Amino acid sequence: MSGSSIGKLFSVTNFGESHGPAIGCVVDGCPPGMELCAEDIQAQLDRRKPGTSRHVTQRRESDTVEILSGIFEGYTTGAPIALLIRNEDQRSKDYGNIADTFRPGHADYTYWHKYGIRDYRGGGRSSARLTAPTVGAGAIAKKWLAQKYGIQVRGHMSALGPIDLTFKNWAAVGENAFFSPDPDSVAALEAYMDELRKSGDSVGAKITVVAENVPAGWGEPLYDRIDADLAHALMGLNAVKGVEIGDGFECVRQKGTEHRDELTPEGFLSNHAGGVLGGISSGQNIVAHVAIKPTSSIRLPGRSIDKQGNPIEVVTHGRHDPCVGIRATPIAEALMAIVLMDHALRHRAQCADVVMETPQIPGNIQTK
């Protein structure tokens, strides 16, 4: 199965299935000499893992990471880093009723037509369980970017269903189960999710991810633009149906005088472009938004067909997130970090000797 790798110089190859013995990834291209231990990676995995609140799937997975290679005496060696996360709480019997049917809105139908075989247990390869290794790889990238460039990659929920969230402060994000930047919104989010869970339905979400202190000059036009690679990576996150860079589709309604980010000796006056101009980082915050669809696996009946094409009604059992966007923030952060580290290494390889007398002006600080 192709399509399981991302990155050129810093590359990540993901493996495993939702109900298999384990999931994991191989991270290749991490420079040698960086101090790294399992705790560095585990801290990020714990932000994503299931069962952390009543609003997410109750599948109980510790997501304990094992580093199998690429580390010697606490430092990266430059060799591939293999990460393994053992599955601990599979309940494959919950999926026996869909072995010969297709859940509407799920990848069951398309996987069957493409491969002629599918692992129906928990979605197999199409499960969001496979985002855990991505978060592990992203933890490595986050640490390297912070040490080498002072880059910080952070994300937050900006909408859950019909509820838009106002950005108030980053401190609030880590203090609630929704990664909400508005502490005053948590009670309303909890009430909404409680009612949604009782109804048996699901809902989508919008996630915003921001990278601060990215230098100007990263990205390779035309087809390896940094925003194109970001969009490609973020669209690889399960259930994502849309990606915006900066103001995204809002630019349709803006005039040129409004959208252009004017430059002054003191810095940029705005950041409508999301920190990317011509596919190359401008030195401003890189800002991306992702739209995540409602969970397809719900316990309300839906029309579908079986393998013979006969009409049926599908009811999905098992443990599922009523909103997969609730746990998506650490995954979006990881994907942005992976792309940024890859471009950092590519820029260093080609343009490390470029000397620029023009000063890099400050970027306008944006939080959304």
* Residue bearing tokens 């390869």: 125
- 348 belongs to an annotated ligand binding site: no
The closest of 210, 155, 164 to 340, measured between CA atoms, is 210
The closest of 164, 189, 167, 163 to 176, measured between CA atoms, is 189
Separation CA 331–CA 133 (nearest Å): 10
Phi first, then psi, for residue 61 (nearest 5°) are -125, 125
The closest of 353, 334, 340, 187 to 276, measured between CA atoms, is 340
- 181 belongs to an annotated ligand binding site: no
> Do the beta carbons of residue 350 and residue 341 sit within 8 Å?
no
Number of other residues whose CB lies within 10 A of the CB of residue 192: 18
- 255 belongs to an annotated ligand binding site: no
Number of other residues whose CB lies within 10 A of the CB of residue 349: 10
- 219 belongs to an annotated ligand binding site: no
- 127 belongs to an annotated ligand binding site: yes
- 294 belongs to an annotated ligand binding site: yes
- 296 belongs to an annotated ligand binding site: yes
- 126 belongs to an annotated ligand binding site: yes
- 53 belongs to an annotated ligand binding site: no
Q: Is the peptide bond prior to 222 cis by the omega test (within 30 degrees of 0)?
A: yes
Binding residues for NADP(+): 48, 54
Binding residues for FMN: 125-127, 238-239, 278, 293-297, 319
Annotated binding site: 48, 54, 125-127, 238-239, 278, 293-297, 319
